[in-house]
Homo-oligomer: A and B are copies of this chain.
Amino acid sequence: MRYGKEHKQATRQRIIEAAGRRLKTDGIDGSGVSTLMTDAGLTNGAFYAHFESKDDLVATAVAHELRAQREALGELPPGRVGVEHLIREYLSVGHRDNPGLGCPSAALLDEIGRAAAATKTAYTEGVLAFIEEFAARLAPDDPQSAHAKVLSIYAGMIGTLQLSRALADRELADEVLEQGIANALALVNAESAPDAVR
């Protein structure tokens, strides 16, 4: 090998990371291959040496973003303190106003629902891993039962952040975040899963 094994790998990684930001900022359909490559400091022709197609990169980038999100969980304080921290951070003004650095689900979820099968598969696997880690943190003794609950909490946070981003009235958008935090915290602190209330 001429360039040393890492060269191409490192470039590939650079493309994936730059693409993660760009996709979350401009959307999947809103990001062209040429732009994605320019972001990585390359020209569009080099793209197909690294990925089969745009769909291939999108699926890879989505997987990478979710892995990063899962790994960020590990850096939080242990137990419910960490969970509470996560919720307040997730539903913060800073996160809302910087989609490129934030949650891929909040930025892209409806587009992922319409995306190629490979992207949906990558997303599904990534979310499952994230949810499991989240559940283990929330209820170390019984992560299995927390699984479903965490799914709902995550879904609620995604919808809340998207809604806050879509509103033209900033005051209302901030109120949505506030209420979302209260709501998520209540769910986390509820002793039983909501379906026990039925």
Encode contact with B along A106-142: 1 for CB under 8 Å, 0 otherwise.
1111111110010011011001100000000000000
Is A183 on the interface with B (CB-CB < 8 A)? yes
- Which of chain B's residues have a CB closer than 8 A to the CB of A148? 175, 178-179
Which A residues fall within an 8 A CB radius of B?
Answer: 25-27, 29-30, 99, 105-114, 117, 120-121, 123-124, 127-128, 148-149, 151-152, 154-160, 162-163, 165-169, 172, 175-176, 178-180, 182-183, 185-187, 189, 193-195, 197-198
Which one, B128, B154, B179, contacts A152 given CB within 8 A?
B179
A-B contact pairs, 19 of them (CB 8 A): A27-B110, A29-B30, A109-B166, A112-B166, A113-B162, A113-B166, A124-B169, A148-B179, A149-B179, A152-B180, A154-B159, A155-B156, A155-B162, A155-B163, A156-B183, A182-B194, A182-B195, A185-B197, A186-B198
Distance A114 CA – B124 CA, assembled complex (angstroms): 24
Known: A111-B110, A186-B198, A197-B189. A163 touches B179 (CB 8 A): no
Q: Dominant SS at the A interface?
A: helix
A151 touches B123 (CB 8 A): no
Known: A159-B162, A175-B151, A194-B183. A107 touches B110 (CB 8 A): yes
B124 touches A151 (CB 8 A): no
- Which of chain B's residues have a CB closer than 8 A to the CB of A117? 168
B111 touches A111 (CB 8 A): yes
A166 touches B29 (CB 8 A): no
B163 touches A124 (CB 8 A): no
